Chain A
Amino acid sequence: MTGRQTRSTIGMLAPATGLIAIFVLVPMVLTIGLSFTQWSTQTGFETASFVGLANFADLLGPTSIGRDFRAAFGNTAIYTALSVALILPLSVMLGLLVHQTFASGGILLRTVLFSSYMVPMIAVALVWSKLYSPTEGPINQMLGWVGVPPQTWLSSPRTALVSIVILNVWQQVGYFTVLAVAGLTQIPRSLYEAALVDGASAWMQFWRITLPLLRNTLLFSAVIAVINAVQVFEPVALITQGGPVNSTNVMTYHIRRVGIERAQGGLGSAMAVTLMLSLIVVIVLLFTLLRDRGEQR
């Protein structure tokens, strides 16, 4: 490589790489380092004192630190599992409706679904907090029309987390629908034509052709859905503040409360590291379970 080429390579890469290094990679390394220290977020990094694995021991221990953390971890796990379990099948179903050309309305549906993905989460949270209102909210009113008794939604520890899952699914499903449509367009038409010749029903075509060939799309969607789900913050910060009775205290909210608001930077970092490790485990598991191994075709 000539000197000129080296210079232009560095010149082109420096801004983006430098910024990402300083504002993402360095903080990532710092998070790991700080997780082994006791450190107040209000003071400089030099005040951090090494405590070994004490923070992690606290997270697993019997004190309120451990109990609150494990509750938040559990809530996030439930929240993530429910979100993925709802988003994936919905995205395929809606994707089929958007993709098909037999009936009209597909593009309208895509526009409506994707519009909600553009809406700031804070507005979503505000609107749904009113929709869920037990007395003045239209959701309980509509349930009443079909004879379903009023639900408690955000006001009961039993239903609050699920209520937040629902509003989150509503907001995000449009994005995953577009991903599903992208996957559907990759499936060769000839496969369906061959299936039709063999007399396969639409139902069988779906299970034997569509779903298996959407596998990689679904794997990707699942990974993104998991990563998005652990980031839920606005509805909790705005409406429930983690309540009622800690039922919606999720990881992003909890880590910020401990690490920023209570300035326990070391402890908060240990929580962040635990979250990161758990995410890696989940993603590796998803890959092992869902990756197309090739032998089934």
Chain B
Amino acid sequence: MSAMRPYRRHPRTWRRTALTLVILAIAVAAAFPLVWMVLSSLKTPEESMQVPPVWWPGSPSLDAFTEVADVVNLGRSFVNSAFIAIVTTVAIVVTSLMAGYAFAKYRFKGRDWLFAVLIATMFLPPIVTLIPLYRLTGYLGLNANLLGVVVPNLANAFGIFLMRQYIKGVPDDLIDAARVDGASEFLILFKIVAPSVLPAIAALTLFAFVYHWNSYLWPLTVLQGNTDQYPIVISLSRLLSYNRGAMNTGLVMAGATLAVLPPVILFVFLQRFFVDSIVATGVKG
């Protein structure tokens, strides 16, 4: 159109620039809280207390980060978080692949009914089952222990749903050919099906890792105040009560920055898989 009516070019360029500026402004506004968090973690305690607030740290220092390590057992908390996130993620990927494969490729009585029941649990807010679950893990001897955080979360409906959606697209011929060759079902699943749904595995890995790295309500409940077993997100909440004045702003921000890094870094590098899987399923984890 612009070729036919060259005189329209100028207003079009102007509008394009204006829209780009609007988009950038929104992006800056949306990023502001996280930018503020990082900047504040580099400020001196005096700068944090100033009124009106100082935006840019005059002499950026990492003191707050070393201080966080003294206040909460940072190393231990990170190990705990990593343990929770990695164990649940690996288990969820494996159990979801297996169940997703069965729901996608097997015919059996009650399949759709069972699938519907499992999917319904995806919409259940965790608070609804929190009280009896807490007693149940108590019976199993898992309370006040990291295992109590992990064991109830080794499978989830979203993973099954995601895997079923992707495995449905794997050609039956591929699977049948392997069966004719005498391969076991587990061999078929892990040698043939799994490699052809790698994007789904990547997406589920990221969803599960981020979800369990960030989860707060269940660990707080099941760990019963056993600070040795706290993941980083719960240790962080202790920073706030450690020193209630404005003095600790830098400290709190340094702790928050550290906790934010693993999930956000993971996301920035692998966001394509997140986005694709949301488009494929239209559902969150």
Contacts and interface: CB of A to CB of B under 8 A. Distances in A.
B48 A136 contact: yes
Nearest to B130: A256
B268 A15 contact: no
B216 A234 contact: yes
B132 interface: yes
A116 B30 contact: yes
Interface string A15-42: 1110110111111101100100000010
Interface residues of A, number: 98
Contacts, number: 287
Q: How large is the interface on B (under 10, 10 to 19, 20 to 34, 35 or more residues)?
A: 35 or more
B128 A126 contact: no
B40 to A, nearest CB: 7
A118 interface: yes
A111 interface: yes
A168 interface: no
A59 interface: no
Contacts of B114: 13, 17
A102 B11 CA distance: 13
A11 B102 CA distance: 9
A13 B131 contact: no
A230 B125 contact: yes
Contact of A23 (B125, B136, B189, B252): B136
B135 A31 contact: no
B96 interface: yes
A126 B252 CA distance: 7
A130 B249 contact: yes
B128 A31 contact: yes
Contacts of B189: 12
Contacts of B199: none
Of listed A17, A114, A118, A252, residue having the most chain B CB within 10 A: A118
A256 B219 CA distance: 13
Interface string A111-134: 111111011111110111111010
A26 to B, nearest CB: 7
Contacts of A12: 98-99, 101-102, 106, 185, 189
Interface in A232-266: 233-234, 237-239, 251-252, 255-256, 259-260, 265
Interface in B199-215: 210, 213-214
Contacts of A127: 33-34, 36-37, 253, 256
A179 B281 CA distance: 10
Nearest to A30: B132
B95 interface: yes
B271 interface: yes
B278 interface: yes
A16 B267 contact: no
B31 interface: yes
Closest 3 CB pairs of A and B: A27-B129, A30-B132, A103-B19
5 contacts: A30-B129, A103-B16, A115-B264, A122-B256, A178-B275
